[in-house]
Every structure is written in C-alpha cells, then in structure tokens.
Amino acid sequence: MIRAIAVIGTGLIGTSVALAASRRGVTVFLSDRDPLAARTAAALGAGRTRPPAVPVDLAVLAVPPSKVGAVLAEQQARGLAHCYTDVASVKVLPERTALSLAPDPSSYVGGHPMAGRERSGPLAARAELFEGRPWALTPSPLTSPTALRRARELAVLCGAVPVVTQSASHDEAVALTSHVPHLLASLMAARLSGGPAGATRFAGQGLRDVTRIAAGDPGLWGDILQANAPAVAGVVREVHADLSRLVAALDVLSGPDAGQRAGAMRTMVDLLDRGVAGLAGIRPGGPGGPAGCSRVRVAVADRAGELPRLLSGAVRAGADAERVTVEDAGPGRLSVRFGVAPCLAGRLTAALVAEGWDARGENSVYAEAYEEGPVRPAVRT
C-alpha cells in the first residue's frame, strides 16, 4: 500500500493529485522549480515542502511532456523514490527518453490522468478532479509489475479508472480526442480577434462551447502538441483535406455558376452528415444508442395541453424526453412513441396506465429497432 509519495511540479494536475492523496492519508512531499508554487500547494493542504528523508513509494512527475525524461533521470539518480510515474498528456516521448536516459527504466510507468481545467497553477487544483475519469497507464516492455501496481493504486486513490494501454495507442487516441480538438478550438477562437466590430454580441453558447478549451496555457499546450506531433499531424492532415474540399464548395456556392452548385452542396452536407455520425461514438446515451430498443406507444387526443401532460408523466416515470416520436392516429388522435431501455418498458407502461393513459408496450422490438437504425424524432419541418 502506498504510504508516501513525492509530487514534482505543483501545477493544476500535480497539486490535484497531491490533494487527493493527502485526503486519503498518504504523506505527500511537494516540490516545484518555482518554490512559491510548492508553498502555495502546501498552504492549500496538498502536502509538505521539505524533501523526504527516505525514498518514497512513488514519485509523480507532474512536469510538461518534454521534461519528463530529464526529471526522471535526475530523480532516479538521487534515489527519490522506489517507483516513478508521470502525468503528461503524451506518452511515447517520455517512454522513449526513460528507456534511453533513465538509470532504471523498470521502476517507471507512464501515466496520464484524463482530466483538466482551462485554469492552470495550484490555485486551480481540486482533489475531486479525477473522479470517474480514465487514467491511462502505459507500461513499457521494461516496466516492473511493482511500478505498474503502485501507479494503478494511485489512480484508484484519486478516484480515477485505470486504463492500461500502449504508449503509441494512447498518443494516437489523445491526438484525436484531445489535441486536435484543442487546435480546432484555437483556430476558431483566433478568428474572433479580427472579426467585424460588434460581431461577438451575437456570440451564443455554441461558440463558447466550441472555443472553451482554447483558453488553455499556450506554453504547456505547445509542449504537448510538439511532443505528439506525428500523431497530431496525421489527424490534422485529414481535417485539412476536408476543409480544402469545403473551401472549394463554399466558393462554388458563393459564385454565379449554378451548374456546380448541386455537387458543392453535396460536399457540404456530406461533411455535416459525417459529423453527426461521428458523434454517435461519444454519446452512448443519445438517440439510437443501444440502451433504448424497446418502445411504449400511447394514444392521445390532439387537444392543447394533452401532450405536455403525457410527456411530463412519462419523464417522471423514467422516459427520456429526447426519445419521443409522434405519429398520426386518425382525426383528433395522435400516437406517441417512447424509445426506452428494455428494462424500463414495463415500468413506463404501468405508470402511464395508472395515470389513465392508453399505453402499451410493443412486441419483438429488438430486431425491428436494429433494422430501422436509430430511433429519431419523426416530426421535422
């Protein structure tokens, strides 16, 4: 069991790890190349700033990706800890430098808690930052079972979910899910400075969401992107190819030549369609997800107020307001269909019948739902 750790680098992530470990009774030794950062973390309750008298169980190197290798070599030479891990967002580069530079590569395992905030520094730290989040662990061929076990224990202590994977798979995955999204947010946000005066008074939540992560520290992000340049470049090149096609399509749609418009429109709608399809992978609970393949059908008069009454009753009984379709059931009648998880269908039907609705579950819906594809709102304008 981990009793003592050292955290090197008391920024957002290092201090959050230290706070989480301290709360679980672990003794934490803090250091930072900026002594004020370490003192601030200590004053927050993250640990103590004096060095450990004997080697700690695990040292957490919370420094930028390009620094992990050098700090690892330096601290192993000093004998700071029995085992070492890091928290950098890139894993191939630290592993490679560990294997080539570190006195003892077997005591090191790469780590990456997948959590963050736009703010940096110890004052932004939170003990709860990692709760329920994946924490990637990327053992090298030389990593010892003890090093992997201790890093995994730290991740669990912090409330995270350890995910063991290879450093190269990790870097490819985060290029797609974190690094390229950051660049696209920055590309969009960069346009806001030079835009027409007053344009941003029309800024809504959509724009704020698209650009939110662009607020991250440019120095740290430059380091991350540089360290993962090959994987990032691969995804960015694909985005660039799509964008080049889009520029050509928009030029056609802006111009006077009606002949090419249909093709240009297809290019643009194809991109929008692929975007909708891509979202399915990161919205498992969304419409059409595997959780909802049973249906409950309710007959309702199309009088004002009937539909809100039915919908609120159904939501109270556990139905998802986003998985509802309405169909014509003859003059004055509508048929409302709820897509629900199979385990919910009986309960929803019973609850609605108890409230006086003409509700019934539908049979053999598994096959039907899968054949038809996602259940979507049928009513569109």
Site for a copy of itself in 10-29 (CB under 8 A): 10-11, 14
Give the three-class secondary structure for 245: helix
Shortest Cβ 25–a copy of itself spacing (Å): 14
- Residue 107 or 127: which CB sits closer to a copy of itself? 127
Q: Alpha-carbon distance 142 to 324, whole Å?
A: 53
CA–CA dist 286, 292 (Å, integer): 9
Token representation of residue 141? 């061929």
Q: What is the CA radius of gyration of the chain?
A: 27
Comparison of 133 and 297: residue with beta carbon closer to a copy of itself: 133
The footprint of a copy of itself on residues 266-295 (CB under 8 A) is: 268-269, 271-279, 281-283, 286
Binders of a copy of itself in range 191-220 (CB under 8 A) = 191-196, 198-204, 206-219
Q: CA distances (Å), 365 to each of 204, 289, 295, 372, 375, in order?
A: 40, 14, 7, 10, 12
Q: Which stretch binds a copy of itself (CB under 8 A): 53-61, 319-327, 347-355, 356-364?
A: 319-327
Q: CA–CA distance from 98 to each of 66, 72, 103, 298 (Å)?
A: 11, 7, 8, 63
Query: What distance in Å separates the CA atoms of residue 380 and residue 58, rounded to the nearest whole number?
Result: 57
Please report how the helices 218-227 and 229-254 are oriented relative to each other, as an axis angle in degrees rounded to 10.
100
Interface with a copy of itself, residue 36, by CB under 8 A:
yes
Which residue from 113, 116, 221, 96 is spatially nearest to 168, judged by alpha carbons?
96
Among 5, 6, 21, 44, contact with a copy of itself (rule: CB under 8 A): 44
User: By CB under 8 A, what part of segment 75-94 binds a copy of itself?
Assistant: none
> Using the rule CB under 8 A, is 328 a contact of a copy of itself?
yes
* Helix, strand, or coil (residue 298): strand
Rounded to whole angstroms, what are the CA distances from 214 to 133, 205, 306?
A: 21, 15, 45
Examine residue 68 and tell whether it contacts a copy of itself (CB under 8 A): no
> Which of 3, 24, 33, 50 contacts a copy of itself by CB under 8 A?
33
Q: Please count the residues of this chain forming the interface with a copy of itself, following the rule CB under 8 A.
A: 139
Nearer to a copy of itself, 194 or 356 (CB): 194
Question: 111: which strand partners?
Answer: 137
Residue 130: count of CB within 10 angstroms of its CB: 25
Among positions 52, 55, 181, 288, the unique one binding a copy of itself when judged by CB under 8 A: 181
Q: Rank residues 104 and 217 by Cβ distance to a copy of itself and give the closer one.
A: 217
Please pick, from the candidates 21, 32, 56, 93, the single residue that binds a copy of itself as defined by CB under 8 A. Answer: 32
Contact 296, 349 (CB under 8 A): yes
Does the footprint of a copy of itself cover residue 244 (CB under 8 A)? Answer: yes
Q: Which amino acid is at 190?
A: A
Residue 251 sits in the site that holds a copy of itself (CB under 8 A): yes
> CA-to-CA distance for 175 and 115, rounded, in angstroms?
15
Q: Please report how many Cα atoms fall inside a 13 Å half-sphere around the Cα of residue 108, on the Cβ side.
A: 30
Give yes or no for residue 230 binding a copy of itself (CB under 8 A): yes
CB of 120 to a copy of itself, least distance (A): 6
What's the closest the beta carbon of residue 209 comes to a copy of itself, in angstroms? Answer: 4
Using the contact rule CB under 8 A, the part of the chain among 91-99, 140-148, 232-240, 343-351 near a copy of itself is 232-240
Q: Which is nearer to a copy of itself, 141 or 278 (CB)?
A: 278
Q: Which of 225, 317, 344, 345: binder of a copy of itself (CB under 8 A)? A: 225
Among 3, 24, 25, 43, binds a copy of itself (CB under 8 A): 43
**Under rule CB under 8 A, residue 355 binds a copy of itself:** no
- Taking CB under 8 A as the rule, does residue 111 contact a copy of itself? no
* H-state helical runs in 137-213: 145-157, 167-174, 180-190, 205-211
